[in-house]
Chain A
Amino acid sequence: MKVKSCFGPNFKEYEIGEIVFLGKKHPLKLSCGVEISNFPIAYQAYGTLNEDRSNAILICHALTGDQYVASTHPITQKNGWWDFMIGENKTIDTKKYFVICSNILGGCMGSFGPKTIDEKTSKPYGINFPVITIQDMVHAQNLLIEHFGINKLHAVIGGSTGGMQVLAWSTLYPNKVKLLIPIATSYRHSPQNIAFHEVGRQAIMADSNWCEGDYIDQKKFPVRGLSLARMTAHITYLCESALQRKFGRDLNNKNSFSFNFDCEFQVENYLHHQGSRFVERFDPNSYLFITKAVDYFDLESDYLGNLSNAFVEFSKNKEGKFCLISCLDDWLFPTQESKKITKALSTCSINTSSVVISSNNGHDSFLIENEMLKNTIHGFINQN
């Protein structure tokens, strides 16, 4: 089933791919206590599921990513965000694997999120959407793979927020997965990262066009707030050296300062560009709910301060293996956090590999084509 949804300040309509309604038989109980049923999850699938349904790979997208992992994005018309990784004869070969990527719970690309119409009020949920967690997203993904009749996933792969989902898979469904690849992620969102998220949320909520979350109904859109949130976040996705290399102190097509507050430096230009592109495709309320879900993520405290306890159940899965990938100059999820996960997994005697990718693009390294990254993932999922 395909549906349409409106995006951006002009509420332009786009068709947003495959949607399936889940939780029909049994409602899904969210971490906050609210039960949801018959809710939509949008997904894209590539390749063919084999007869014994053992070749499925689930890709978990990042904070503001979506299910268009390897197909043209309906709004931006750009290639999928991991187009270099997934496809025929690519690193994750869709001739061999059945690759699924679903829009996370709380997202705005067709899955159950704040933009979904509440049947009781006939208006979008908006700020009344239930507060979700990473674990809730994983429960929804599990319903999706059950919908496909898949008992065990060959692999679950995801970066950043997607990596948190991968970790949550190992704790919630330890026997339904074989290979896990969390990339550029952490077992918990650090105070510094929560701080950056809060700046983003406050930017959205301080925009008068946010209308207490009711902007869709009032035909307004918090353009400035949402783009400011994106600009702040984008600083954290790169790193000092990448900013220096890409922009330096270069000015936009001129040689001298203009002594005003125009967008003068190239780095400013870059951030403005990122902000304005983002508002075309993302829902402000979704941003609030998803960032909150990420902030709540803390496997260590879930398991009473001992991270290795989180993986005790997974250690009983004899086929289960981890490959952690982190990026050398990522300051959002530094390699030390990945190493802490490696240590916890090793403590549980889980087959664990870890790789540090020496790309110089900061946190976003995993979204940029990189031989090391491709070789690592290819080797791990195709191991004999």
Chain B
Amino acid sequence: MNAIGENIVTHKIRYDHEIIANIIKSKSKVLDIGCGSGDLLYHLKTYKNIDCRGIEISQEMVAKCLVRGLSVIHGDANCELNFYPDSSFDYAILGQTIQAMNNPQNILEEMLRIAKYAIISLPNFANYKNRFHLLFKGTMPVNKTIPFQWFETPNIHFCSIRDFENLCKKMNLTIDKKVFLTSKHRLISVFGKEIIANFFADYGIFLIRKNEFCHTGQEEFAFNKVNNLSYTGRLISQFCKTR
């Protein structure tokens, strides 16, 4: 098994990107949906020799990606994932965008049609700060994680970590890995206690796949519960070392 720590790279990138980058195996084929200016893709291409593609809705961002030599399609992921044939990628990444998609369930299905694995990162709306904000202030939470007023937010499908896990269960998807983060970019050592994660985490990152799919070359991701715990533990300790 590839220890995640061995793959931690020194190049400075956004923390959640670093975690995603470390989940992805070298030399695989990746589609980043909503890739922005291509930070993650550029990192993957440069340091992990990954065949990268992106979809981005903003032309300005697409132009930035082009300068970096990335192949990015200017379009709306809500309707344009049908560009890609079945199983054309190893991973499809959706970074902090699922809550803004028209139909999250449909997006998950599409992602797992075109890729073997989907990596989803999402802001956890059930974070305690949001809960207290709503409880005591009585207004919709606005903070670093959710920096929008209710009337201007692109987020139309608020969900929590537990909500997302429930959706995966309903869709019969397997969660192979989950990583929880706070806004201070520190992993919470929850050791599997999702109830705590759902209260404290600002973000969750999930590696999911279809239940029926289990690729032989990727068995390190096919954890049972016990493995998953030790894996998260290793991830944390490896990460602390590198810090």
Residue B103 interfacial (CB < 8 Å): no
Which residues of B have CB within 8 Å of A342?
Answer: 73, 83
Q: Which of B53, B63, B82, B85 contacts A379 (CB 8 A)?
A: B63
Residue A270 interfacial (CB < 8 Å): no
Cβ A355 vs Cβ B69 within 8 A: no
Which residues of B have CB within 8 Å of A89?
Answer: none
Cβ B62 vs Cβ A353 within 8 A: yes
Contact A380/B68 with A346-B83, A356-B59 known, Cβ cut-off 8 Å:
no
Cβ B68 vs Cβ A357 within 8 A: no
Cβ B67 vs Cβ A354 within 8 A: no
Residue-wise, chain B 57-73 has the 8 Å CB interface mask toward A (1 for contact) of: 00110111111111111
Which residues of A have CB within 8 Å of B65?
Answer: 353, 379
Q: Which of B69-120 contact A (CB under 8 A)?
A: 69-75, 80, 82-85, 88
Residue A351 interfacial (CB < 8 Å): yes
Cβ B88 vs Cβ A349 within 8 A: yes
| Nearest CB of B to A6, in Å | 44
Closest to B42 in A: A384
Residue A253 interfacial (CB < 8 Å): no
Q: Which of B74, B83, B85 contacts A356 (CB 8 A)?
A: B74
Cβ A321 vs Cβ B71 within 8 A: yes
Cβ B62 vs Cβ A376 within 8 A: yes
Which residues of A have CB within 8 Å of B59?
Answer: 355-358, 372, 376
Which residues of A have CB within 8 Å of B53?
Answer: 346, 351-352
| Nearest CB of B to A279, in Å | 38
Residue A92 interfacial (CB < 8 Å): no
Q: Which of A352, A372, A383 contacts B69 (CB 8 A)?
A: A383
Which residues of B have CB within 8 Å of A378?
Answer: 67
Contact A354/B75 with A346-B83, A346-B88, A383-B69 known, Cβ cut-off 8 Å:
yes
Which residues of A have CB within 8 Å of B82?
Answer: 343
Cβ A384 vs Cβ B69 within 8 A: yes
Closest to A321 in B: B71
| Nearest CB of B to A158, in Å | 18
- With the chains together, A262 CA to B147 CA distance in Å? 60
Q: Kindly name the residue among A353, A356, A372 whose own CB sees the greatest number of chain B CB atoms within 10 A.
A: A353
Q: Which of B28-65 contact A (CB under 8 A)?
A: 53, 59-60, 62-65
Cβ A354 vs Cβ B73 within 8 A: yes
Residue A347 interfacial (CB < 8 Å): yes
| Nearest CB of B to A309, in Å | 14
| Contacts beyond the supplied A339-B80, A346-B84, A379-B67: 14 A-B pairs with Cβ under 8 Å | A342-B83, A343-B83, A347-B85, A347-B88, A349-B88, A353-B72, A355-B63, A357-B59, A375-B60, A376-B62, A379-B65, A382-B67, A383-B69, A384-B68
Cβ A352 vs Cβ B63 within 8 A: no
Which residues of A have CB within 8 Å of B67?
Answer: 378-379, 382-384
Closest to A345 in B: B83
Cβ A353 vs Cβ B83 within 8 A: no
Cβ A354 vs Cβ B64 within 8 A: no
Which residues of B have CB within 8 Å of A375?
Answer: 60, 63
Q: Could you show 6 A-B contacts with beta carbons less than 8 Å apart?
A: A323-B66, A343-B82, A347-B85, A379-B63, A382-B67, A383-B67
Which residues of B have CB within 8 Å of A347?
Answer: 84-85, 88
| Nearest CB of A to B211, in Å | 27
Which residues of B have CB within 8 Å of A358?
Answer: 59
Contact A339/B75 with A375-B63, A380-B66 known, Cβ cut-off 8 Å:
yes
Contact A379/B66 with A346-B83, A349-B88, A356-B59 known, Cβ cut-off 8 Å:
yes
Which residues of B have CB within 8 Å of A356?
Answer: 59, 74-75
| Nearest CB of B to A18, in Å | 32
- With the chains together, A153 CA to B64 CA distance in Å? 24
Residue-wise, chain A 359-384 has the 8 Å CB interface mask toward B (1 for contact) of: 00000000000001001101110111
- With the chains together, A77 CA to B66 CA distance in Å? 35
- With the chains together, A384 CA to B70 CA distance in Å? 9
- With the chains together, A352 CA to B65 CA distance in Å? 12
- With the chains together, A322 CA to B66 CA distance in Å? 11
Which residues of B have CB within 8 Å of A357?
Answer: 59
Which residues of A have CB within 8 Å of B83?
Answer: 339, 342-343, 346
Closest to A380 in B: B66
Contact A355/B88 with A339-B75, A384-B69 known, Cβ cut-off 8 Å:
no
| Nearest CB of B to A207, in Å | 44
Which residues of B have CB within 8 Å of A382?
Answer: 67
Cβ A376 vs Cβ B69 within 8 A: no
Closest to B114 in A: A346
Cβ A354 vs Cβ B74 within 8 A: yes
**Top-6 shortest CB links A-B:** A379-B66, A383-B69, A379-B67, A351-B71, A375-B63, A355-B74
Which residues of B have CB within 8 Å of A351?
Answer: 53, 71
Residue-wise, chain A 327-346 has the 8 Å CB interface mask toward B (1 for contact) of: 00000000000010011001
Cβ B73 vs Cβ A353 within 8 A: yes
Contact A376/B66 with A342-B83, A357-B59 known, Cβ cut-off 8 Å:
yes
Which residues of B have CB within 8 Å of A354?
Answer: 73-75
Which residues of A have CB within 8 Å of B68?
Answer: 383-384
| Nearest CB of A to B57, in Å | 10
| Nearest CB of B to A193, in Å | 24
- With the chains together, A355 CA to B53 CA distance in Å? 14
Q: Which of B60, B71, B85 contacts A352 (CB 8 A)?
A: B71
Which residues of B have CB within 8 Å of A346?
Answer: 53, 73, 83-85, 88
| Nearest CB of B to A67, in Å | 27
Residue-wise, chain A 151-182 has the 8 Å CB interface mask toward B (1 for contact) of: 00000000000000000000000000000000
- With the chains together, A358 CA to B57 CA distance in Å? 12
